């Protein structure tokens, strides 16, 4: 009995909300490698064939694909985590930096104070 050939893939980190900005709805897509030559790696992207420079992707681990400008990876990429919210001391420092006496504007200080007060109220109710 013969062993089936191992299927290889190129990977892409895709954000389902790409048009609205990065909202953290990431998925790792995989595109099957159909052929490898010394110069190129050929792959199939949902019925659309493509290729990338083999030496560059093997050296860097990732490459931008031609006109689509998609960033393709040899190994599955890490899915970025959501940024952690700033701590109360960080918000207090930002509020102090935005104060008009320190070169900030009234609008910037009011917005920074609102962020600080909101975070402080959430922490107090938790």
Reduced to 3 states (helix: H, G, I; strand: E, B; else coil), residue 12 is strand
Residues in the chain with pLDDT < 70?
Answer: 1-5, 17-24, 82-83
pTM above 0.75, yes or no: no
Considering the chain, what percentage of its residues have pLDDT values greater than 70?
87
The C-alpha atoms of residue 41 and residue 38 are separated, in whole angstroms, by: 8
Q: Which residues pair with 50 in a beta bridge?
A: 43
The C-alpha atoms of residue 11 and residue 7 are separated, in whole angstroms, by: 13
92-126 pLDDT, tens per residue? Answer: 999 999 999 999 899 999 999 999 999 898 888 87
Q: 43 burial class (0-12, 13-18, 19+ CB within 10 angstroms)?
A: buried
Evaluate the CA torsion angle 110, 111, 113, 118 in order and state its sign. Answer: positive
Tokens of 55: 């030496």
Which residue has tokens 């992207």?
45
Residue ranges of alpha helices (H) inside the chain are 54-60, 88-97, 106-125
| CA 22 vs CA 13, 33, 67, 116: distances in Å | 12, 28, 22, 24
């Amino acid at each position: 009995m013969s062993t089936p050939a191992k299927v290889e893939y190129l990977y892409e980190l895709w954000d389902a909300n790409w048009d609205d900005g990065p909202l953290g709805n990431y998925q790792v897509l995989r595109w099957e490698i159909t052929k490898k030559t010394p110069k190129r790696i050929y792959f199939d992207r949902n019925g659309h064939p493509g290729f990338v420079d083999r030496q560059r992707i093997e050296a860097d681990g990732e490459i931008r694909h031609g006109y689509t400008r998609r960033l393709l990876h040899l190994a599955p990429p890490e899915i970025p985590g959501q940024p952690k919210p700033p701590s109360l001391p960080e918000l207090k420092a930002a509020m102090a930096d935005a104060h008009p006496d320190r070169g900030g504007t009234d609008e910037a200080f009011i917005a920074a104070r609102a962020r600080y007060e909101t975070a402080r109220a959430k922490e107090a109710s938790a």
